[in-house]
Structure 1
């Protein structure tokens, strides 16, 4: 966990605090300061750091300077524990430092060394000895009155037992947080706040997590610690992700990236942002940030991070139709994964060898050592006598190993060919799906256009045909009435004129609904306002219409489709939901138009299949517009339908695999 690694680095970067200059040999100053400068650099030079630390411990041994011997040993232990993940070397040098500090009576440093011995034992899988070292370190801190340092001890204990006893891990983390606040240790408090943030995010409790994140941000700014601040923003982005707040997620990842100067951390944050973009299907954005992450990872030579980047990069490239690039990234991912696997095998063999040597040394005694030396001498004599036979065995072994390596190479080549064949099949499947989607979109477009043309034809025929007939009938009745004043007073004639007027108005209303003239003359907003006014007049439903910054002139076919969608949703709310209040909202964003229709009707179960034609027509038009719809409703509590439509300059041509 990153916050735990950071807490160890705090100790690695400790300077020469509290040490009189008279005690510091000039060589020790140069070696220690050089080592710390390499360790604190953003682009960490591990080889230079280890070289200067080894020079320091070698010189201190030669001059029998126990204090500096112990200090360099402790820093070498942390180098192996923090930067290379070598618990055996962490144990070896921590034990060496503890013995030297104990010999010269430096109890504070001795307790710190015992704490690192506990860390090493836990990483080696020795839980009982680890807890004994932790307990001894805590007792010594309390004995010398250094209770403020217990916070760091509890942090390390908690991290060690996290996988074994998670509730106890949380308890230690909270203890460390409380002690940090009690003794005004802002750095330790910030580290524990980040740890508790992870705990509450795992519990799916973003509100509690945000409390600790906000505190960590405040402390990081007070400390002017860019690394702590960047990870606080990263955790805040994860919190916003659990709330489905896309803007909050992106903004906080950008803040995390801008807050840190560490290139590795920047690459990690860009990778996580790319994975989030991919999850929400913003594939072009994912492609852009993952390119940046790859560039940074290559710059610092982070092979394992590159593996994560390539693993996350394939999906957005495939989804955005960049199949050739997706195949290239897949090949890079396979090659890098194989390379890292070989490195891990070599590291594992080296670590197991080192563990075996440590355990062997602990069990040996002087008598056994002398016996082993004698046995080695005997074996040497025997080997000299059987030199020819050994030489033959070596030759045979070489042939066997060569054959085995040849077999492994053939196996690896076969596996790679199989993977390539599977990838080709997957790409062909994606291409077929793309063609099918193109055909579906063309069919939907044809259906929508055909419906609108038929509506326009019927509306024109109603207006020009029946409308003209009704006008002629009315004129005839008026003419008859003028000729005879008695007919004007006759109730049947008056009633007939009223029915003709009513039928004419109804005819005009039907024609208007089928092909609204205000839409082509005055635009979408005016047409929707007329629709809302008409519903308020003709029904007992109160419809409210709100719009914000909707100033874009939409294409005619898009305006008509949006109008039909709104018309269908409003009629459904009145006809099926039996609503008495409806709220319609339109909001224009940078790259999309958001439409929300909410009602107080009887609601419905969104999990049940929709049988009516209304929502199915809406969904067809949404597919035509490359838009999304989200429905929230439950029986008895009304409904809320949200639409997200890309703006005209972002609407793609009819083709598959493009994101809105």
Structure 2
């Protein structure tokens, strides 16, 4: 249970740090000199603001050709920087950095612009997953910043992003150092809410080092800064600090405090969800008041009509009075009935929300447990491959050297020892590959799935693979998808009684689509899911947490499984 909580906490902290990395989207104005070409750049900038990016790019490329032919240095810098910003905003980080690099030699001693360019390049590399290059550019930006007075806002963001890079490289001491610098700059600027968020992240880094008491100090400091602030950033910081403190106290075995801060987190979480409901209630109340006024106006109109027709006789007036009373009575009964229906509807909505929360929590717990197992298997495989195998190889070399020295008088025990060591090395290598596929780690998802299908195919079942537009993705993402496919292939081998199977992989519009089908006997999807489908539950839970979808169609002529998940690069 304690391991599970730690795993959940680590996932939460990673999300916080990734959020801080995205802070490098700094708006830096492009300066224009007053001539015809730069007036064109101003017009292009206006097109971008209007969302006409394609038209802006067409005009911008023409301007770049003009200014480069005329060797107008200022206009070249401005035009390439504008192009780099557009490419960056549209996700083409490599081309964006090429344009930033073109203008660096032209900037010379304009240190503010140089610092900005290196900051932007570092952000591009970081968003593109090239962490080491991001680190180099952030460090250059910091060195240039030493020549600049003020500009604490940009310096704070550089140090915050650099902290995120060091965190990804597991250099927690450096991550702490730069987080503290970033927090101090935000304090100088008076951005208390941002300072609190950085300090909250700092507590998370301490937690990753196992320094739970230091992490608690940081979380408490973040809470003291945000206080009872009402803006969204204050609320989010206060909410994340509470849950972080709950996990930190849990790691210290202080479960009373852990549950206390978990309750505080739950109260804030519920209140955030309740805000939308309050708005809905206000809208309903407003409509009710309007309806009530309309009803009152109708009653007044009826009274005037009764007064006008009074002269026609007391009998007509009595009939009208009775009719009005009857209508009011009916309206009262109808409103009472509607009120009961409204209460029942709200109860159903509330119960549905509770069930959804429970289902989401169970899925996340299941996936966190499986991810924990994968991480343990990866660590064991690393130890077997990098340490134990190396020791066995060294022992074998020593025995070989001993045989050389003994020459013809080698004892038979040495030969047998060498054979035993060789057999042990083979078994350890096989065990390491079973724990985590070395083919997957070295060559990627496509080759790993092909290798899996070749090994799974036999005289009764042949499984083929088709892939389209598949590249290398984030390693954890590839491992999770490979495990899902592996589980489905195992089920096909055990239960389908199929003769042929096909696995199709395709990268399409930012999603990885996997289609698996066979010509086996099929199965009852609902029955397997409800009674004995722990494997199916694991697959669906993993895909749900990855933000994807799965569709299974099965009959006595075969089974087709469609999976689509957003790609993580």
TM beyond 0.5: no
Q: TM-score when scaled to structure 1?
A: 0.36
Q: TM-score when scaled to structure 2?
A: 0.41
Larger Rg: 1
Name which structure has the greater RCO, CA cutoff 8 Å, separation 6+. Answer: 2
